[in-house]
Amino acid sequence: MEVPLIKIEKRNDAPMALYFFTPFIAIILTILGGGIIFYILGFNPIEALKFYFITPISNLYGFSELLLKATPLCLIAIGLSFCFKSNNWNIGAEGQLTFGAIVGGGVALLFYNQDGFYILPLVILAGAIGGMIFALIPAILKTYFNTNEILVSLMLVYVSKLLLDYLVVGPWSNPEGFNFPETRQFSESSRMPLLFEGLRIHAGIFLALAAVMLSWFILYKTYLGFQIKVSGLSLKTAKYAGFKGKTMILVVFMISGACAGLAGVGEITGPIGQLHRMISPDYGFTAIIVAFLGRLNPFGIIFASLVVALTYLGAETAQIFLQIPKYTGQVFQGMILFFLLASDYLLFFKVKILNLKKNELRH
């Protein structure tokens, strides 16, 4: 009697060119998978996919909204790539975003009704520092007390969200706002300048592009970048090479936190214009998908942030035009990650189906 047996083996000859190609495979599979879901839900899959992926960006307004949505995702993912590349699992970017927004928003409120060219840069700087400080907590606990950074950074998300709740309900709430949980609208002096009249896209996009350039430079042209990459490939090698692991951990968390903080401050000084409880629809978590879809590569992340941003816009358009449930957006994001991980797995491991005689199994 023959029994099929599945055996999983590591491939030694995994082609690296394919490694950068799997995100595209994942996206194509997601689109196919989405088409099947739409078909099962009773929609014309071609039409649904058109409303999902083409209609949202078929005019300049839509395209500018895509860039607006991609900006925070790109910024956070760039920061996360430093952590992930060096084997530091910062899951709490959402918390760092929130804390950055709190600190930046606090400065904006401090300068309420004041004018000055220096105010916006101060607000932005405060946001970056806020995110940085908040990311340092899990980093310090990891380096000096050996705690698990995944847990600590994740739990701190709730801490920062509760702090924001407290501030907008209590001490920072708008005195003329009938106790609604929100602050005053920031003055013009602490708002991001708009790039085009009538569109919401703002100067924050340059922060994201600068972050992309800078991260490319750091990762590929500096000693720090080399350390990060070696630590990511093998911690033992890094130690053997004499790298000071602790400093590097602190630095990558600081970079990551600063980027998330910038994303937060970009949202509140850009499209939102005040602090309230809904400043981020979980950008900090979605950016994890973006970072991996972009292969932790700065330019890959630009591309990935646009793709993921499109799943948000597409979900809205598909509901407006076809009344497809909006939650399909989350299904798409989930599928992208699933197919990406699956194709990576198949890239590095091969699945062998062996047919063995039953008595051979015992050996």
Partner 1 sequence: MYKNFLRYLISAFFLLGLGTSANAEFKVGFVYVGPTGDHGWTYQHHEGRNAVEAAGIKTTFVESVPEGADAERVIRQLAQSGHDLIFTTSFGYMDPTNKVAKDFPNVKFEHATGYKREHSNVSTYSARFYEGRTLLGHIAGKMTKTNTIGYIASFPIPEVIRGINAMTLAAQKVNPNIKTKIVWVFTWYDPGKEAEAAQALIDQGADIIMQHTDSTAPVQTAEKAGVWSFGQASDMQRFAPKSILTSIIDDWAPYYVERAIAARDGTWGQQDTWHGLKEGMVAMAPYNSEMGADLVKEVEQLQKDLASGKAHSFTGPIYDQKGNMLVAEGKVADDGMLAGMSVYVKGVEGDIPK
Selected from 28, 41, 59, 110, the binder of partner 1 by CB under 8 A is 59
CB of 181 to partner 1, least distance (A): 6
Q: Which stretch binds partner 1 (CB under 8 A): 141-149, 226-234, 270-278, 285-293?
A: 270-278
Interaction of residue 240 with partner 1, rule CB under 8 A:
no
Q: Which stretch binds partner 1 (CB under 8 A): 114-122, 135-143, 197-205, 220-228?
A: 197-205
Element (H, E) at 274: none
- When asked if residue 270 is in the footprint of partner 1 (CB under 8 A), the reply is yes
- Span near partner 1 by CB under 8 A; candidates 150-158, 231-239, 271-279, 288-296: 271-279
Instruction: Please report how close the Cβ of residue 115 comes to partner 1 at its closest, in angstroms.
Output: 22
| CA 95 to chain CA centroid, nearest Å | 12
Give me the 312-331 binding string for partner 1, x by CB under 8 A, dash otherwise. xx--xx-xxx-x-xxx----
| Closest to partner 1 by CB, 181 or 298 | 181
| AA identity, residue 352 | K
Is residue 267 near partner 1 by the rule CB under 8 A? yes
Length of the chain equals 363
CB 261 within 8 A of CB 127: yes
CA proximity to 73, closest of 220, 250, 262: 262
> Which amino acid makes up residue 48?
A
Query: Where do the H-state alpha helices sit in the chain?
Result: 16-19, 22-41, 45-53, 60-85, 93-110, 119-145, 149-169, 204-221, 223-233, 235-240, 245-267, 283-293, 298-322, 328-348
Residue 6: phi and psi, rounded to 5, are: -95, 130
Site for partner 1 in 76-95 (CB under 8 A): none
- Closest CB to partner 1 among 57 and 238? 57
Whether residue 248 contacts residue 123, with contact meaning beta carbons closer than 8 Å, is answered with no
Closest separation between CB of residue 116 and partner 1, Å?
Answer: 25
Number of other residues whose CB lies within 10 A of the CB of residue 39 = 13
| Largest distance between two CA atoms of the chain | 85
Q: How many residues form the binding site for partner 1 (CB under 8 A)?
A: 40
| Of residues 229 and 326, the one with the C-beta less far from partner 1 | 326
Q: What residue ranges bind partner 1 (CB under 8 A)?
A: 58-62, 65, 68, 165, 169-170, 178-181, 185, 196, 198-200, 267, 270-273, 276, 278-281, 312-313, 316-317, 319-321, 323, 325-327
